């Protein structure tokens, strides 16, 4: 029995979110909105943590994959859903749900393919180059989307509007739970020992027979996939998306969550996602100080406590190997 | 099993953070009105101006004894000029502050985020300055009191034709839907009226160097250049154009409306023209009273955003008075029936598409100052 | 043809400003092996210092001939920014000297965000006009080509700094120490080099270069705001990588390549169906291409990581 605990917890979370989702009309719309934001940020942060934290590949382009997922899913919903309805047994909550799941998967897969395309060449690079390449990729995605025609499927600089509000508590937290589960299982499996190995010393890992490029690409593709899912959820929550919203400052926001939560610590990152998202709402009036405080925190933390604000999780503050 | 405990920990933390609704009953002694504005971030200048205007209208009505026997309470939320925030704060205003109506946003992108939320909740929304046609298509609770991009693009084309300019080059900011829209309708009207577009170039907000585009434009020898973007870039474009020896005037839309235009552009902006919602030079007493009151309060002359913010609140109050209630449906109908409302930004009539039918003014830059030229009616 | 020549000139001048910023980037990277993300922000501070200085002593400066007042403004803000660079290094980077590279990178991002947002708090988010430190006149050329005084100054300054930097690095004792540190920090200490002093010097010099770049950039494009350093900073970094990071002439070459390519995309892309807006992505496409095909850059040497 004990060996299934993880799966049971996963099931409980999914069922719980389904329950809350059914009752969502009873909750305050604004609190619900914050809760959904929290969930989306958890997916973003946990998936980025797989790349940045567990595998030690510093990506600054997570928002690009989110954008690809958001556009992929939205375009699927806007263009294909109506046509799929008859195939799924006519309009109804079941058919809508299946179509939405398909849209999310399409978005996630688009993002994963992009992750693979960017990852294959650039993951051969050293850490700081990768940071710039991913940041560059983020900018390229934004520039391309912005320069599309306003009448075309991508909607140009104004982006897409009128996306049906299909994102519910259930979808967000079920996917968040799956994301946490998948990333957790990946890094704690026998195979997954390779991720921290790549992070800790790539050359040593390589000489021990670990295919470092494959580990890095795997992390990148899985991370991008979940970023894509979160993008799809975001688009169907906000109902409008525009290229400018996925600029590299959005990527920085996620990076901040991962670093403050502790790179390589799933629980820490989840807590950071919750705390920072909620804090962001309460400190709305102090917006101009928010990034100032975060930036100071980043600097001070790297000096004093690089392992994140939570105690006792995989740490970063090893001495550099000679 | 460490991992599963983490998962459980995380999920309980989530539920705790989520919280259960503790619905506040709204305070009955005031009428709450929500405003969404970009008070910080990239488009802060627009948001702050429109907020100042709106606040002034609220203060005036409260000083005059309020409305329907109650005081008006304006609750303003800052969307930080960021994507996604306008939607969240609109929900907050509706569900937490129990507002009777929403005012805002200036930018069309943000208004498009708010519109479906207002529509679903049955709360009327009035955008002071979102000019993209798609905004009011969101539903019958969404209104605007400014003219729309097609009209503005057409106005500038009409103006160019009236000046006898046959060849015009276009410079579009492809990062701004606003600029793209203006260009589209300018081009349509201008080419339908025997005008020639000698060159079409584009750039993105935040760009600083436009010499390449301007060199290409210069080769076509246009009579004027239509620069449909915002003042930040237009000022730099004009400066660089003069350096390249391009002397023809620039034309633009209400996105030029900022003191920065002449501060940065300086002499390069002389003799250029742009369309706007109102002119603070207009001699009519209504406008001059507003300009004076605004100057006393904020130490600067009001720009178009301030005037539109003021008008949006005034139209809402007018509708509330006529409806005699703040209930959503009745209020919506009253706003929709707005006809010939004497606003600062002209006489406002809302058409069946919930857009304002009103004239535009053409302004020019003369001796480093913005001066009124003419009014063009639809 | 004239138009093409003018476009090439436009590209050359645009590129020389990238090159100017890239010099500082590449020098810091060459010595310390980390990307100083905050370089673009010191660049921004350079422009704001010049603006402040101009506000403070505008009347005095107006009495002097413009080259003199330009020089005063340049020197003062370069000195201030150099001091700032040294302070940043002391407070933020020095404690991390033995830590993994990733920690330093994160700190650099933190420093960059810190400078940007404190500048936003201090100066506001809106654009501010930058005074004409260099007269806004065009030197008309016989062939119908136009070049402005500011452009010439930028080009001359870039070339002068390029030569100057080369001399500092190759001919002086400090330069020798910088090269030694770059090759092997431990060995350089053993040879009697005071690493801390060399690193402070490198940061100071890099920040001074950034400040100079900021002032000249603001003179060309006279509106400044707290986030103005991000894009030029990124492009200058790409230029440095393109030329071979750590290689000083390479940075200049990379800057010119990016400037010319961007300008040609802007000037001719529209006719080929590529909106000028894509020029923003040009630098990054070049970056990805170079890193895929020749990661050491055009003039860089291949380095192998030793275990």
Band of pLDDT at residue C218, cut at 50, 70 and 90: very high
* Chain B nearest CA to C202, separation (Å): 29
Q: Which residues in chain A are contacts of B10 at CB distance < 8 A?
A: 42, 180, 267, 270-271
Nearest to B135 by CA among B152, B122, B121, B147: B147
- Segments in chain B forming alpha helices (H): 2-18, 44-63, 85-95, 108-121, 149-162, 177-192, 211-219, 231-243, 259-265, 285-298, 304-323, 328-336
Residue A118 lies in a domain: yes
**Do residues B350 and B143 lie in contact, with contact meaning Cβ atoms separated by under 8 Å?**
yes
Beta bridge partners of C284: none
3-state secondary structure of B350: strand
Residue C190 lies in a domain: yes
Residue A166 lies in a domain: yes
Q: Which residues in chain A are contacts of B95 at CB distance < 8 A?
A: 28-31
Q: Which of A128, A292, A316 sits opposite C117 (nearest CB)?
A: A292
Q: Judged by CB atoms within 8 Å, which residues 78-137 of B form the interface with A?
A: 78, 80, 82-84, 87-89, 91-92, 94-96, 108-109, 112-113, 116, 121, 132, 134
Q: Which residues in chain A are contacts of C237 at CB distance < 8 A?
A: 132
Exposure string over A72-94, b if 16+ CB within 10 A, otherwise e: bbbbbbbeebeebbeebeeeeee
What sign does the dihedral B315-B321-B323-B327 (CA atoms) show? positive
Domain range enclosing A70: 2-248
- Neighbouring C-alpha atoms within 13 Å toward the C-beta of B129: 32
User: According to the model, what pLDDT value does residue A41 have?
Assistant: 95
Judged against a pLDDT cut of 80, whether residue A22 lies above it is answered with no
- Taking CA–CA distances from A148, the nearest residue in chain C reads C275
Residue A302 lies in a domain: no
Which domains does chain B carry?
Answer: 30-147+284-358 (3.40.50.2300), 150-276 (3.40.50.2300)
Crossing angle of helices A29-49 and A212-238, rounded to 10°: 170
Q: Which of A13, A30, A245 sits opposite B11 (nearest CB)?
A: A13
- Taking CA–CA distances from A302, the nearest residue in chain C reads C103
* Chain A nearest CA to C46, separation (Å): 20
CATH number at A193 reads 1.10.3470
Residue A32 lies in a domain: yes
Inter-chain touch A291–C234, beta carbons under 8 Å: no
Classify strands B196-203 and B356-357 as parallel, antiparallel or unpaired. Answer: unpaired
Inter-chain touch B212–C276, beta carbons under 8 Å: yes
User: For chain A, what is the domain count?
Assistant: 1
Question: 């519109």: which residue's tokens?
Answer: B115
Q: What is the C-alpha separation between B225 and A85, in angstroms, rounded?
A: 49
What sign does the dihedral C63-C64-C66-C72 (CA atoms) show? negative
pTM for this predicted structure: 0.87
Q: What is the C-alpha separation between B154 and B327, in angstroms, rounded?
A: 38
Residues B208-248: tens digit of each pLDDT: 889 888 988 988 899 999 999 998 899 999 999 988 889 99
Crossing angle of helices B44-63 and B304-323, rounded to 10°: 40
Residue A181 lies in a domain: yes
Residue C37 lies in a domain: yes
What sign does the dihedral A98-A104-A110-A112 (CA atoms) show? negative
User: According to the model, what pLDDT value does residue A175 have?
Assistant: 93
Mean pLDDT, chain C, integer: 86
- Taking CA–CA distances from C95, the nearest residue in chain A reads A303
Interface confidence (ipTM) of the complex: 0.85
Quote the tokens at residue B209. Answer: 């160097």
Q: What is the C-alpha separation between B342 and B356, in angstroms, rounded?
A: 12
Quote the tokens at residue A119. Answer: 């990852």
Q: What is the C-alpha separation between B216 and C230, in angstroms, rounded?
A: 27
Domain range enclosing C131: 16-228
Percent of chain B with pLDDT over 70: 93
Q: Which of C125, C129, C275 sits opposite B202 (nearest CB)?
A: C275
Mean pLDDT score, B303-326: 92
On whether any CB of chain B is under 8 Å from the CB of C11, the answer is yes
On whether any CB of chain C is under 8 Å from the CB of B175, the answer is yes
Residue A74 lies in a domain: yes
Q: What is the number of residues in chain C? A: 307
Q: Which residues in chain C are contacts of B41 at CB distance < 8 A?
A: 125
Residue C167 lies in a domain: yes
Judged against a pLDDT cut of 90, whether residue B207 lies above it is answered with no
Best A140, A157, A261 member to test B by mutation, with max B CBs in 10 Å, is: A157
User: According to the model, what pLDDT value does residue B283 have?
Assistant: 82
Q: Which of C129, C146, C221 sits opposite B263 (nearest CB)?
A: C129
Whether residue C140 is preceded by a cis peptide bond, meaning omega within 30 degrees of 0, is no
On whether any CB of chain C is under 8 Å from the CB of B236, the answer is yes
User: According to the model, what pLDDT value does residue B10 have?
Assistant: 53
On whether any CB of chain A is under 8 Å from the CB of B16, the answer is no
* Chain B nearest CA to C167, separation (Å): 32
Residue A318 lies in a domain: no
Judged against a pLDDT cut of 90, whether residue B335 lies above it is answered with yes
The vertex-B368 CA angle with B362 and B369, nearest 5°, equals 45
Q: What is the DSSP secondary-structure string of C127-160?
A: -EE---SS---EEE-TTS-EEEHHHHHHHHHHHH
Torsion angle, alpha carbons of B113, B114, B116, B117, to 10: 130
User: For chain C, what is the domain count?
Assistant: 1
Q: Which of A161, A242, A274 sits opposite B17 (nearest CB)?
A: A274
Looking at chain A, the number of H-run helices and the number of E-run strands are: 12, 0
Residue C122 lies in a domain: yes
Best A5, A18, A31 member to test B by mutation, with max B CBs in 10 Å, is: A31
Looking at chain C, the number of H-run helices and the number of E-run strands are: 11, 4
Mean pLDDT score, A292-310: 83
Mean pLDDT, chain A, integer: 84
Judged against a pLDDT cut of 60, whether residue A42 lies above it is answered with yes
Band of pLDDT at residue B275, cut at 50, 70 and 90: very high
**Which residues does A139 contact at the CB level (< 8 Å), separation at least 6?**
A247, A248, C234, C280, C281, C284
Residues A72-109: tens digit of each pLDDT: 999 999 988 878 877 777 777 788 888 999 999 999 99
On whether any CB of chain C is under 8 Å from the CB of B208, the answer is yes
């Amino acid at each position: 029995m004990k060996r299934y605990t993880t799966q049971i917890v996963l099931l409980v979370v999914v069922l719980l979110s389904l329950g809350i989702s059914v009752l969502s009309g009873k909750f305050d719309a604004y609190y619900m909105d914050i809760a959904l934001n929290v969930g989306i940020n958890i997916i973003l942060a946990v998936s980025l943590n797989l790349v940045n934290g567990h595998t030690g590949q510093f990506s600054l382009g997570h928002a690009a994959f989110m954008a690809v997922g958001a556009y992929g899913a939205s375009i699927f919903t806007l263009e294909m859903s109506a046509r799929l309805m008859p195939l799924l047994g006519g309009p109804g909550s079941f058919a809508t749900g299946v179509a939405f799941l398909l849209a999310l998967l399409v978005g996630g897969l688009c993002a994963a393919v992009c992750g693979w395309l960017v990852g294959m060449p650039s993951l051969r690079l050293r850490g700081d180059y990768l940071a710039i390449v991913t940041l560059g990729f983020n900018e390229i995605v934004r520039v391309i989307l912005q320069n599309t025609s306003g009448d075309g499927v991508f909607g140009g600089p104004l982006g897409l509007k009128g996306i049906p509000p299909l994102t519910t508590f259930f979808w967000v937290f079920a996917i968040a739970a799956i994301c946490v589960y998948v990333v957790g299982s990946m890094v704690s499996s026998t195979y997954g020992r390779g991720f921290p190995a790549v992070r800790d010393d790539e050359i040593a890992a390589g000489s021990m027979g670990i295919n470092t490029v494959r580990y890095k690409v795997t992390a990148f593709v899985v991370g991008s996939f979940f970023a894509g899912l979160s993008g799809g959820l975001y688009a169907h929550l906000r109902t409008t998306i525009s290229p400018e919203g996925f600029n590299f400052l959005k990527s920085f926001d996620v990076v901040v969550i991962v670093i403050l939560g502790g790179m390589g610590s799933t629980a820490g990152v989840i807590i950071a996602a919750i705390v920072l998202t909620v804090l962001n709402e309460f400190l709305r009036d102090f917006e101009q100080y928010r990034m100032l405080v975060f930036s100071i925190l980043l600097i001070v933390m790297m000096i004093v406590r690089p392992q994140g604000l939570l105690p006792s999780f995989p740490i970063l503050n090893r001495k550099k190997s000679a | 099993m460490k991992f599963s405990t983490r998962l459980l920990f995380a999920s309980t933390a989530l539920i705790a953070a989520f919280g259960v609704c503790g619905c506040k009953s709204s305070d009955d002694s005031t009428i709450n009105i929500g405003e969404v504005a970009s008070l910080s971030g990239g488009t802060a200048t627009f948001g702050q101006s429109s907020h100042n205007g709106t606040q002034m209208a609220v203060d005036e009505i409260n000083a005059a004894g309020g409305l329907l026997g109650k005081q008006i309470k304006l609750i303003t939320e800052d969307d930080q000029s960021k994507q996604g925030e306008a939607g969240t704060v609109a929900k907050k205003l509706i569900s937490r502050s129990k507002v009777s109506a929403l005012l805002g946003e200036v930018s069309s992108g943000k208004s498009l985020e708010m519109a479906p939320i207002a529509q679903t909740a049955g709360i009327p929304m009035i955008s002071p300055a979102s000019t993209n046609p798609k905004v009011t298509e969101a539903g019958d609770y969404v209104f605007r009191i400014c003219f729309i991009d097609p009209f503005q693009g057409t106005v500038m084309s009409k103006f160019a034709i009236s000046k006898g300019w046959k060849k015009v080059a276009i410079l579009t900011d492809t990062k701004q839907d606003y600029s793209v829209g203006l260009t589209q309708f300018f081009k349509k009207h201008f080419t339908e009226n025997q005008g020639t577009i000698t060159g079409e170039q584009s750039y993105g907000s935040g760009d600083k160097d436009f010499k390449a585009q301007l060199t290409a434009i210069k080769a076509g020898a246009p009579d004027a250049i239509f620069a449909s973007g915002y003042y930040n870039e237009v000022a730099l474009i004009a400066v660089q154009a003069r350096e390249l020896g391009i002397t023809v005037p620039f034309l633009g839309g209400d996105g030029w409306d900022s003191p920065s235009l002449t501060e940065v552009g300086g002499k390069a902006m002389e003799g250029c023209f742009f369309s706007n919602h109102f002119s603070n030079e207009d001699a009519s007493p209504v406008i001059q009273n507003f300009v004076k009151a605004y100057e006393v309060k904020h130490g600067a002359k009001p720009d178009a955003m301030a005037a539109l913010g003021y008008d949006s609140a005034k139209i809402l109050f007018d509708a509330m008075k006529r409806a005699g209630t703040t209930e959503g449906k009745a209020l919506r109908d009253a706003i929709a029936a707005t006809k010939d409302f004497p606003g600062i930004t002209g006489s406002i009539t809302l058409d069946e598409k919930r857009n304002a039918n009103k004239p535009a003014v053409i302004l020019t830059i003369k001796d480093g100052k913005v001066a009124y030229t003419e009014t063009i009616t639809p | 043809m004239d138009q093409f020549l003018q476009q090439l000139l436009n590209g050359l001048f645009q590129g020389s400003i990238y090159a100017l910023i890239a010099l500082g980037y590449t020098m810091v990277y060459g010595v310390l092996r980390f990307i100083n993300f905050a370089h673009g922000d010191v660049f921004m501070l350079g422009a704001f210092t010049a603006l402040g200085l101009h506000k403070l002593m505008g009347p005095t400066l107006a009495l002097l001939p413009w080259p003199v007042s330009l020089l005063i403004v340049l020197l003062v803000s370069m000195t201030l920014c150099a001091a700032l660079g040294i302070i940043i290094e002391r407070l933020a980077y020095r404690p991390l000297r033995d830590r993994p590279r990733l920690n330093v990178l994160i700190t650099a991002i933190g420093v960059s965000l810190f400078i940007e947002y404190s500048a936003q708090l201090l100066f506001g988010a809106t654009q501010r006009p930058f005074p004409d430190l260099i007269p806004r006149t065009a030197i008309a050329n016989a062939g119908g080509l136009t070049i402005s005084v500011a452009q010439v100054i930028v080009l001359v300054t870039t070339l002068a700094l390029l030569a100057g930097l080369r001399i500092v690095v190759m001919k002086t004792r400090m330069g020798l120490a910088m090269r030694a540190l770059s090759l092997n920090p431990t060995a350089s200490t053993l040879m009697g080099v005071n690493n801390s002093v060399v690193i402070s010097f490198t940061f100071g010099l890099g920040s001074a270069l950034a400040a100079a770049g900021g002032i000249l950039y603001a003179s060309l494009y006279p509106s400044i705001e707290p986030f103005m350093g991000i894009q030029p900073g990124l492009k200058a970094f790409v230029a440095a990588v393109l030329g071979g990071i750590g290689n000083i002439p390479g940075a200049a070459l990379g800057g010119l390549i990016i400037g010319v390519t961007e300008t040609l995309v802007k000037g001719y892309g529209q006719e080929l169906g590529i909106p000028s807006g894509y020029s923003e992505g040009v630098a990054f496409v070049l970056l990805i291409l170079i890193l895929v095909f020749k990661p050491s850059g055009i003039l860089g040497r291949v380095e192998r990581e030793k275990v």
